[in-house]
């Protein structure tokens, strides 16, 4: 580990979170085991080896499934408010470990320390949300057409919920799913990204403390650090009632079809190609801040990152010039140093995609007003640091229709709001969108049936980030899934209609007569 990063206390952080030099990557609770290949987790911050993890093999997978099945039989019988108490305690543990876990997220994934801490805060927030929700898992009652009958709806837990997460939010997305799945009475099996395995092990270690303190069975919370083959087994396994998948549209399309084939349920959080419309009536100071953070935050590796700015022709040049000036002030470097704005990409494969996308954009006619580059030097020794860039493009360019997980921002000019909305919607993805305007009519049109076709539509707020109180997800090739707040809990349960006859007769529905 480099001396510079040692100064940030990473070694102590790893000890506090129970991360060893070598770790077993399978856990059904307090016991870790594995019999697969060994993988290494390198930090994109400095290229140093953080730790090694032995991955899960097929035999480990079967043991996890069997343990989870047995745990579900017991866990589903615990009253929902008591399951909520379990989640409350997890939230308290996360408060205790917030600094360490946030620092690990920053170091293993590469996002800024403040973003790492913010991600852990999201975990705490969803725990708080779920605790309250554990007393509100309500159904509906309705009037029966038959005399002496009562009808109502109720919800039951599904069983095993499989969670497959991506590297860019290595802990928060797990918690969004897990907190809700648990209060609903399900057990969870988590397959994290192989690029951020230590974050998953750290979360499991924290959860183990809660399970042991409450004398709860193994299998309520399980982790499988494994390759895509184990992920495929999860997708194909009819014993897993729900698969929540976060990742690329390409893989999500396969997950959706495979889970549907076995009549399972899926929650898909796939690609985003998010735009901010900057109106002639926008507050430009606010617009620049929202655009820059949305484009360069997490080095452009958020699913909600701002990819496109659709700017009114009357303010286009001013916005462009102000963006160029703002990009000139960006500080790129170690994300654990709070003076830096932009950290590294996750690995060198991501850097290659960045450079290929820039070249493709130029081939299609893109004009770069801020040039991109792969940064070199001792501070950038990992080879994962790149320069955020800006290009003037047409929305029809093939590269603009594609999501590149990197800090590349595209500028597009428009004349009328209707044209801007059409441009915003004219991509395969439909996750997050925003308009910057002080014109009420423009704002309302953007939010109307004729407006944004995305799952998230904001006014005078950027595209990046979301509060846990609202349902998170998108339409079209984003997959249609929803996670986190609102009534998303219903995804994790099966719905049942009940009719009770409290008379001595058996009248049939619709007045049908069937006398014997």
Residues 292 and 232 in one domain: no
Of 54, 119, 122, 269, the active-site residue reads 269
- Are residue 264 and residue 352 in the same domain, yes or no? no
Q: How far apart are CA 437 and CA 366, in angstroms?
A: 27
User: 189: part of which helix (H) or strand (E)?
Assistant: strand 187-191
436 band by pLDDT with thresholds 50, 70 and 90: very high
- Predicted confidence (pLDDT) at residue 104 exceeds the cutoff of 50: yes
Domain of residue 192, residue span? 11-270+479-495
Does residue 456 have a pLDDT over 60? yes
Q: Is the predicted pLDDT of residue 1 greater than 50, yes or no? A: no
Q: What is the DSSP string of 402-417?
A: S--SSSEEEEEEESSH
pLDDT band at 29 (very low <50, low <70, confident <90, very high): confident
Q: Of the listed 199, 303, 361, 389, which one is catalytic?
A: 303
- Please report the sign of the dihedral spanned by the C-alpha atoms of residue 129, residue 135, residue 140, residue 143: negative
Q: Is residue 513 part of a domain?
A: no
Tally of domains within the chain: 2
116 and 258 in a single domain? The answer is yes
**Does residue 71 lie in a domain region?**
yes
Report if residue 81 sits inside a domain. yes
**Is residue 509 over pLDDT 80?**
no
Residues 190 and 235 in one domain: yes
3 has pLDDT over 90: no
Q: How confident is the model at residue 7 (pLDDT cuts 50, 70, 90)?
A: low
**337-351: per-residue pLDDT in tens?**
999 999 999 999 999
Report the CATH number that the domain containing residue 454 is assigned in CATH: 3.40.309.10
In a domain, 1, yes or no: no
Residues 246, 193: Cα–Cα separation, whole Å: 10
What does the pLDDT read at residue 206?
Answer: 97
Query: Model confidence at 202, in pLDDT bands (50, 70, 90)?
Result: very high
Same domain, yes or no: 47 and 196 = yes
Domain check: are 131 and 193 in the same one? yes
Model confidence pTM above 0.85: yes
Residue 505 lies in a domain: no
Residue 334 sits in the same domain as residue 404: yes
240, part of any domain: yes
Q: How confident is the model at residue 251 (pLDDT cuts 50, 70, 90)?
A: very high
Q: Are residues 204 and 234 in the same domain?
A: yes
313 shares its domain with 459: yes
Residue 275 in this model has a pLDDT that exceeds 80? yes
pLDDT at residue 2 greater than cutoff 70: no
Q: Are residues 334 and 440 in the same domain?
A: yes
Q: Are strands 26-27 and 221-224 parallel, antiparallel or unpaired?
A: antiparallel
Decide: 421 and 277 in contact? Cβ < 8 Å.
yes
Q: What is the CATH number of the domain that holds 254?
A: 3.40.605.10
Phi/psi for 319 (5° steps) reads -60, -45
Apex 294 CA angle, 289 and 299, nearest 5? 120
Cβ atoms < 10 Å from Cβ of 507: 15
DSSP letter assigned to residue 52: E
Do both 257 and 281 map to the same domain? no
pLDDT 10s digits, 357-401: 999 999 999 999 999 999 999 999 999 999 999 999 999 999 999
In the predicted model, what is the mean pLDDT of residues 14-36?
94
Q: Does the annotation count 483 as an active-site position?
A: no
Given a cut of 90, whether residue 457 has pLDDT beyond it is yes
For residues 213-229, give the mean pLDDT.
96
Q: Are 132 and 182 found together in one domain?
A: yes
Residues 472 and 480 sit within 8 Å (Cβ to Cβ): no
Tell me whether residue 269 is one of the annotated catalytic residues.
yes
Determine which helix (DSSP H) or strand (DSSP E) holds 187, and give its type and residue range.
strand 187-191
In-domain check, residue 218: yes
pLDDT per position as a tens digit, 50-73 = 999 999 999 999 999 999 999 999
pLDDT of residue 62: 94
Q: Is residue 317 part of a domain?
A: yes
Across 428-447, average pLDDT? 98
Residues contacting residue 473 through CB under 8 Å, at least 6 positions apart: 267, 269, 431, 455, 479, 480, 481, 482, 483
**Which pLDDT value is given to residue 9?**
86
């Amino acid at each position: 580990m480099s001396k510079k990063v040692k100064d940030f206390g990473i070694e102590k952080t790893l000890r506090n979170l129970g991360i060893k030099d070598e770790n077993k990557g399978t856990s059904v609770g307090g016991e870790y085991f594995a019999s697969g290949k060994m993988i290494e987790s390198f930090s994109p911050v400095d290229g140093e080896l953080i730790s090694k993890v032995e991955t899960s093999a097929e035999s480990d997978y079967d043991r996890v499934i069997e343990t989870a099945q047995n745990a579900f039989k017991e866990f589903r019988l615990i009253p929902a408010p008591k399951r909520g108490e379990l989640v409350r305690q997890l939230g308290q543990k996360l408060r205790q470990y917030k600094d360490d876990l946030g620092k690990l997220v920053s170091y293993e994934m590469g996002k800024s320390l403040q973003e790492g801490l913010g991600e852990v805060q999201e975990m705490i927030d969803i725990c708080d949300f779920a605790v309250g929700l554990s007393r509100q898992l309500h159904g509906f009652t309705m009037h029966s057409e038959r005399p002496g009958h009562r009808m109502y709806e109720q919800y039951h837990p599904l069983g095993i919920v499989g969670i497959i997460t991506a590297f860019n939010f290595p802990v928060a997305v797990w918690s969004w799913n897990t907190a809700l799945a648990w209060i609903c009475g399900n057990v969870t099996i988590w397959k994290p990204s192989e690029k951020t395995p230590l974050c998953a092990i750290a979360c499991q270690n924290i959860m183990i403390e809660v399970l042991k303190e409450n004398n709860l069975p193994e299998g309520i919370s399980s982790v499988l650090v494994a390759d895509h083959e184990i992920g495929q087994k999860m997708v194909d396994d009819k014993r897993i009632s729900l698969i929540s998948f976060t990742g690329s549209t390409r893989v999500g399309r396969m997950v959706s079809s495979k889970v549907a084939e076995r009549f399972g349920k899926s929650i898909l959080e796939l690609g985003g190609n998010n735009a901010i419309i900057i109106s002639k009536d926008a507050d430009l100071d606010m617009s620049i801040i929202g655009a820059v953070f949305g484009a360069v935050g997490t080095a452009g590796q958020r699913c909600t990152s701002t990819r496109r700015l659709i700017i009114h022709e009357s303010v286009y040049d001013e916005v462009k010039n102000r963006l160029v000036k703002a990009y000139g002030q960006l500080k790129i470097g170690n994300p654990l140093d709070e003076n830096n704005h932009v950290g590294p990409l996750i690995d060198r494969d991501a850097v290659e995609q960045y450079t290929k996308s820039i070249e493709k954009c130029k081939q299609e006619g893109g004009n770069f007003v801020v040039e991109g580059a792969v940064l070199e030097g001792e501070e950038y020794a990992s080879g994962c640091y790149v320069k955020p860039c800006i290009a003037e493009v047409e929305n029809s360019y093939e590269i603009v229709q594609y999501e590149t997980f990197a800090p590349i921002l595209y500028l597009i000019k428009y004349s009328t709001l209707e044209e801007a909305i059409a441009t915003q919607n004219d991509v395969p993805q439909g996750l997050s969108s925003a308009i910057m305007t002080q014109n009420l009519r423009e704002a309302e049109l953007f939010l109307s049936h004729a407006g944004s076709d995305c799952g998230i539509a904001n006014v005078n707020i950027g595209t990046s980030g979301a509060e846990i109180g609202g349902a998170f997800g998108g339409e079209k090739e984003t997959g249609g899934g929803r996670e986190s707040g609102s009534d998303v809990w219903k995804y994790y349960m099966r719905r049942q209609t009940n009719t009770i006859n409290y008379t001595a007769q058996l009248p049939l529905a619709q007045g049908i007569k069937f006398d014997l």
